[in-house]
Chains A and B, each alone.
Chain A
Amino acid sequence: MLRAADAGYGYGGTSGGGDAFTLADVSLEVARGGFVGLLGPNGCGKTTLLKLLGGTLTTRTGAVTLDGEDLAGMSRRRIAQRIAIVPQETHPSFDFTVQEMVLMGRHPHLGPLTLEGPADIAIAQEALTATGTAHLVDRAYMTLSGGEKQRVVIASALAQSPDVLLLDEPTASLDLGFQMEIAALLRRLNRQRQVTLVLATHDLNLAASLCSHLLLLKGGRTLAFGPTAHVLTAAIVRALYGVDADVTFHARAGHVTVVPLGAAHP
């Protein structure tokens, strides 16, 4: 279980004047095999929280633990063996092939002087198959489409053999077709492989269709945390974004949908 207990973080403030931004007292539990969405307006602290959960930032207050072990006390390598992160976009400065990109996911499992062996290659191959990118293996990463790139990056994260996968707006720059493709992939990973997922996104309908629980953040504080159908309401959308919306259960989609109607008038 991935757990944040009263986690807080502040940026900046080296020359006095206090912190430029603070994430305050966020508590969150993601059960093994759970799928939690992080929602909130720009600057609400979604990405910061995701970094705290992935241990790439260390909490200033409170703690983040994975199965009871504090991330602050674990080495980078040890954390990366268990938690993988998929960023919004990945721009390598060299022209790596898809195979090389995916095999880089094995890095935390290799020593500094060891090369990947047949077992690592088998794991990478499986990650390619799971993400539907096996046919791209010899292509140059830079020549792929946006959707293909993001699937390859997810394959690389899967090659880390993580228990937890954290995604930071993985569909933000993708068109609707690719968004659905990534959504189907994430659902498959969660249901068939019991990968624990945390997804930060601006796409309310994507979150509603995928996540069992939502954490709603505003101004660095928790507005609500609970099962998707309970917390995703018209009142919450207004509180989060200042937008009036029609929030209804869509029978054919099988989940709550949000149709924005316009800026809310106070």
Chain B
Amino acid sequence: MTTRPLRTRLVLTVAGFGGLTAAVCVLAPLVGSTSISLTRALSRSIPYADNVDAQIFFVARLPRVMAGALVGATLATAGAVLQALFRNPLAAPETLGVSAGAALGAILAITFGAGTRIGPLAPVPLASLAGALSAMAIVYLLASSTRRAMSTSVLLLAGVALNAFISAMILFVQYLADFTQTYRAVRWLIGDLDVGSFGPILAALPLVGIAFAIFATLPGALNLLSLGPEAATARGVDVARAQRLAFVSASLATSAAVSLAGPVAFIGIIVPHLVRLVVGVDHRLVLPAAALFGAAFLVMCDLLARTVMNPVELPVGIVTAVIGGPFFLWLLTRKT
């Protein structure tokens, strides 16, 4: 066979995209509306209270870059998993209704949930996580109620119907909200990485960790699922189990990402397609590549968002939507 063995391609993929991601994550915190010096920020001779560079670096920029990397990696990988599960290249984390559930939770907390805190967790991320997990449970029960294997068409349609229903609920809650609450809700819905500290990132890590542990076991089965459930069964895949794991892991990942940063649009579609152009369609390469490039891509989008209207820092969701909309249309019209 003429192409390189998979092991070599996997090493090249991880090294290439890993290097890019590392470079972007190191450089991005240094760039912004105020220019700072890394040597000054890390200098021990200047007390932290007087070190403006260190404060900008550690409080404003580093958490934002880390949140971008985490959210980008998570949404991009979840998108790649869902596209294989649904056998549809336009499926995305938004498709399942999980993002909408998170949005409803967040907006309920913004409108009605004054300072209810559980431990270190703020009410808005907590409520959005609860909303996302509830939406996931509803879709899951609908899709697995009648058959042994999940029906992916029921899953898809249930997601669409749930999205529409939840949008109506969001408008209803918005109607009851006052101006300040509506303003905060709209801001949340745009998707923003300005998390302010490391706390929310740490809080999202356990769920993301579980999701990625499941993702790691899936690529071989995802390759076969994209041939259809019967072909996958014939090649030894327990289709019902693989579908359940793919759905649950992608939903958990989406829940964690959206409760951290809001529904940042289109990452789950753009990134998997871009990496497929480079590494091909084998999911054993696509998933790690999507995770690494998703991180780099969202951090770069956020860098653009922070600097394009200097000194105004835009939410990253605007940048990804502006790039993602036309990209989606290009995918639709591209000859297959």
Contacts and interface: CB of A to CB of B under 8 A. Distances in A.
Nearest to B240: A76
Nearest to A85: B234
B233 A76 contact: yes
Nearest to A83: B234
A119 B208 CA distance: 35
B148 to A, nearest CB: 10
A81 B87 contact: no
B223 A137 contact: no
B237 interface: yes
Interface residues of B, number: 34
Interface residues of A, number: 40
A79 B6 contact: no
12 contacts: A77-B238, A87-B234, A92-B226, A92-B227, A93-B87, A104-B223, A105-B235, A107-B237, A108-B235, A108-B236, A115-B10, A138-B2
B241 to A, nearest CB: 9
Nearest to B283: A94
Contact of A115 (B7, B227, B230, B280): B7
A181 interface: no
B64 interface: no
Interface in A80-97: 80-81, 84-85, 87, 90-97
Given A14-B146, A100-B223, A137-B1, A116 B235 contact: no
Interface in A98-123: 99-100, 104-105, 107-108, 110, 112-113, 115-116, 118, 121
Contact of B6 (A91, A96, A105, A116): A116
B220 interface: yes
Contact of A90 (B216, B228, B281): B228
Interface of A: 14, 54, 56, 75-81, 84-85, 87, 90-97, 99-100, 104-105, 107-108, 110, 112-113, 115-116, 118, 121, 124-125, 137-138, 157, 160
Interface in B202-251: 216-217, 220-221, 223-224, 226-228, 230-231, 233-238
Contacts of A78: 236
Contacts of B216: 113
Contacts of A138: 2-3
Interface of B: 1-3, 5-7, 10, 84, 87-89, 146, 216-217, 220-221, 223-224, 226-228, 230-231, 233-238, 276, 280-282, 284
Contacts of B280: 97, 100
A85 B284 CA distance: 24
A93 to B, nearest CB: 4
A14 B224 CA distance: 29
Nearest to A80: B236
A84 B226 contact: no
10 nearest A-B pairs in the assembled complex, by CB-CB distance? A80-B236, A108-B236, A85-B234, A93-B87, A94-B281, A77-B236, A93-B226, A112-B217, A56-B233, A107-B235
B261 to A, nearest CB: 29
Contacts of A105: 235
Given A113-B217, A115-B7, A91 B235 contact: no
Contacts of A81: 236
Nearest to B286: A94
Q: Which of B1, B6, B226 has the most CB of A within 10 A?
A: B1
A81 B234 CA distance: 10
A138 B224 CA distance: 19
Contacts of B231: 85, 87, 90
Given A93-B87, A108-B235, A110-B220, A99 B230 contact: no
Q: Which of B2, B146, B228 has the most CB of A within 10 A?
A: B228
A104 B227 contact: yes
A85 B87 CA distance: 21
Contacts of A108: 235-236
A137 B2 contact: yes
A99 B3 CA distance: 9
A91 B221 CA distance: 16
A109 to B, nearest CB: 9
A5 to B, nearest CB: 22
Contacts of B3: 97, 99, 137-138
Nearest to B239: A76
